[in-house]
Structure 1
Amino acid sequence: MFLSILGLDQLVKILVKVSFSLYESVPIIKPFLYLTYVKNEGIAFGLFQGVTSISIISAIIVVVGVFVYIMGWRPPAIVAYSLALVAGGAAGNLIDRLIFGGVVDYIDFRFWPVFNLADIAIVVGSLLLMGFLIWESREEGKRN
């Protein structure tokens, strides 16, 4: 899962970089969805522009932390998939920051900051993990 997210994310970003000029935008489903090439030097959804070093350090901690955590414990499948999504997305954005000095974003709904597949993986993985933890704590409460 980790390598699939990372590979697909990087492939799409390469296609965007070679097919679009910076800030070029093409409607996909007018007026809702556009492909817009943006270089994001902030964190998720364009917040905190110019904090690249903090973003790089945070992403390294997330990716390494996920692998250390999984190696020391055999998590339930949903937890492993959730962490793989988060780590794959974080690694994809980390590669962009290290190579290009910012993240390549391209999914544009016009009412929300432009984002990418790695961001989706991070959000979905985080939501799945939170859902599992809530469910698990409720089950634990029923047993006690």
Structure 2
Amino acid sequence: MRKETLFLFAIIVVILDQISKYLILSKIGINNKLVIFNWLHLTVTMNEGIVFGMFKGANLIFIFITLILLGFILLFYEKIPKGNSLIISFGLILGGGLGNLIDRLIHGAVIDFINFQIWPIFNLADAAITIGVILAIIKLWKE
């Protein structure tokens, strides 16, 4: 696996994330919801905090922290051996971080919309970050 795959995964995540948020905002609108199944709703919210809506009102701090974390990924990129599956993990994390950063810069909050009713509302960027972190933990645990 080529190291450039990291950026390919990141770009794909950002594109899918931003397109999904654009469509959700334009078709459903903020603070509205669409019931897909009993267990899945599309509920559009503007999350001014971080995970689970914690620490609302600190948008500039979150932007700064996100930039630092993304910078660490880019610095660490050079140290990832070619063919290492951490490339995919960090690509997902980078793409998810950029997707949510774009929201914070444009909207002042992150657009969340996936609502499984038993879990806090999230978006595709959040899912990519979570999957990337889980894959990285599994990879590092095995080594």
TM-score by length of 2: 0.89
**SS in structure 1 of the partner of residue 43 of structure 2:** strand
Gaps of 5+ in 1: 137-144
Task: Name the CA distance, whole Å, in 1 between partners of 2:135 and 2:79.
Answer: 21
Rounded Cα–Cα distance in structure 2 between residues aligned with 1:112 and 1:47: 14
Matches within 5 A, 1:18-37: 18-30=26-38, 32-37=39-44
Q: CA deviation at 1:58?
A: 1.4
Q: Secondary structure at the match of 1:50?
A: coil
Q: Which of 17, 20, 35 matches 2:25?
A: 17
**1:82 paired residue number:** 89
4+ residue runs of structure 1 moved beyond 4 angstroms?
A: none
The question of whether the paired residues in 2 share the 8 Å contact of 1:66 and 1:87 is answered with yes
- Aligned-residue identity in percent: 37
Provide the C-alpha distance between the structure 1 equivalents of 2:23 and 2:33, rounded to a whole number of angstroms. Answer: 14
Q: 2:141, 2:113 → 1: CA distance?
A: 32
The equivalent of 1:118 in structure 2 is: 125
What corresponds to 1:96 in structure 2? 103
Note if contact 1:43-1:51 (Cα within 8 Å) is conserved in structure 2.
no
Between the two proteins, the alignment pairs up a number of residues equal to: 135
C-alpha deviation, 1:21, in angstroms: 2.2
Shift of 1:36: 0.7
Of structures 1 and 2, the one with the larger relative CO (CA 8 A, separation 6+) is 2
Whether 1:128 aligns to 2:135 is yes
1:131 & 1:83 partners in 2: Cα distance? 13
What TM-score results when the alignment is normalised by the length of structure 1?
0.88
Mapped to 1, the partners of 2:83 and 2:62 lie a distance apart of: 29
1:79-99 Cα shifts (integer Å, max 9, x gaps): 010000001000000000011
Alignment root-mean-square deviation, CA: 1.3
Cα distance in 1 between the residues matched to 2:70 and 2:102 = 12
Q: Given the alignment, which residue of 68, 86, 92 partners 1:61?
A: 68
